[in-house]
Amino acid sequence: MNEEIDDSEFYHEDFTTASDWEILVAHMEEIVNQWNSEDRKQSPSSSQWVVKSEKLVYMETNFDFTYYHKNLEDNLLEGPEDKVKHVLDTWFDFSLMSEDHKHLCLAQWYGVNKFIVISSTGDVEQTNNESRMKTLLSAVTVLASNVLDLPIFVQVRDKWQKMYCGVYECNGIRTNFDTVHLIRGPYHCQYLTGLLDVFKTKIRSPCTIEKIFVSYKATYQLQDFGNFVWRQECASDIIDMESFFTLPFGVSIDPVSSLYLNTLWSYLPEHSIIDSENHSDFKPLKAQQWQCSISFTKNPICLLGDYLGEVLEIINNDNTVYNLLGSFAVLHDGPKTNPLDLLTEPLVPSISMLLSQATRNNKGSPPLEKDVLVPLLFFLFPDAEKDSSFPYGATDEREPLQKKFKIFENMDQELKGFKTCAEDSLVWRLAIVLANVLQSLGGLKAFCHLWYEFVQQMRYRWDKSIVIPG
């Protein structure tokens, strides 16, 4: 007799359970449908590119699913049928390059203004594995044939290489995108005639070529600006008191790293232009259109921004003047004086007299030496010095020159909304001096030292009923 077989002892694979690949495709379709519905509801954006991104997880790897859509200036609707222009339309060629997003090079290479990119999350590329790359490409191919009517790319290999594979399917025609890196291009492909020969060879059969239209862009880059670089040097260790009473403005390095000039020719018949080794019609002065752009230096050192940033950091500092200065901020009781001596004291105290009283019993070196501190106090209180070089209300020699420029005619009217103090007042000078001391003369301790001496001077003038200048 045949032995009875118990079916329960055998493993049955449940084909009704969705695989990871099917879950990935379904998740991408859901995201695309959601983006399409949002595009119909959203109002036009002022930014050049609309970027949306979602996270995908496949084979224990995180991916970014990013959608790019360019806002075109002109109306994309044509004719009474209100049909949107094709995403590969030749009139979309050669838009200005933007460094705000890392995948916008695809818009330059393939002339697309609406596309999706799948890339691994982070700086390390996770699609170097060939089987994983083919799995993602198969998923995006299914997505393109089902619901997606725009190009979709997969970033492969290391990210710095900028290599992409992609697919686009519409009206029964599929377009495959690929990237090839060459150390040096073939000689016959350096001119338009060679590129046209390659293009005709690739699509000659079974399609017939009637007309070929060409769009051309040449990019010129300028990095060496010669002797025409304007910049301001950082503060040096040598203290120049004349320049110390103003705040610096400018940069230590040129914030513009490169200038770009793009010369464009759009939608030209191949028989109307010549570009070969012997002759070229693509001369910059004869271009149909020019585009200029610049690239900026990353994190340039802005002198005024550094000074103001140092001042703003003090807001979150909980230390007191006495904690930072120690014995220099402690008032020591001096010998008792005769009250009648007040009648014989000078109306305006000298800076050296107050400094000797405040630091008489202190030991060690102060944050600000006397030869540095005294000129700063004379700048704040010029009435304490005979024949001061910085009296309040003095006429600036540069003022007549400024009046020659139209930009200064309505300066008071233009800046009336700003909250500030009067120009060249005591508060004005104090803010400038404190910012310079904090940045260049010893940091927070020097800042507190000058503030302490300023308060002592103000207290003395208040007690003696002496007019405060500025």
What are the residue ranges in the chain where pLDDT is below 50? 1, 74-83, 90, 92, 332-344, 356, 358, 360-361, 397-405
Q: Residue 289 phi/psi, 5° resolution?
A: -150, 145
pLDDT for res 295: 84
CB contact burial 68-77 (16+ within 10 A = b; e otherwise):
bbbeeeeeee
pLDDT for res 186: 85
Token duo for residue 94? 């050669």
Number of helices and strands (H, E) in the chain? 14, 11
pLDDT for res 466: 80
Reading across the β-sheet that carries 213-222, which strands appear in turn? 213-222, 256-269, 289-296
Structural contact between residues 116 and 101, judged by C-beta atoms closer than 8 angstroms: no
Break the chain into its structural domains and give their ranges.
8-181, 186-298, 303-463
pLDDT for res 124: 62
pLDDT for res 89: 58
Q: Rounded to an integer, what distance in angstroms lies between the CA atom of residue 105 and that of residue 340? A: 84
The model's pLDDT over 46-71, given as tens digits with 9 standing for 90+, comes to 567 788 888 988 877 888 899 988 87
Structural contact between residues 145 and 173, judged by C-beta atoms closer than 8 angstroms: no
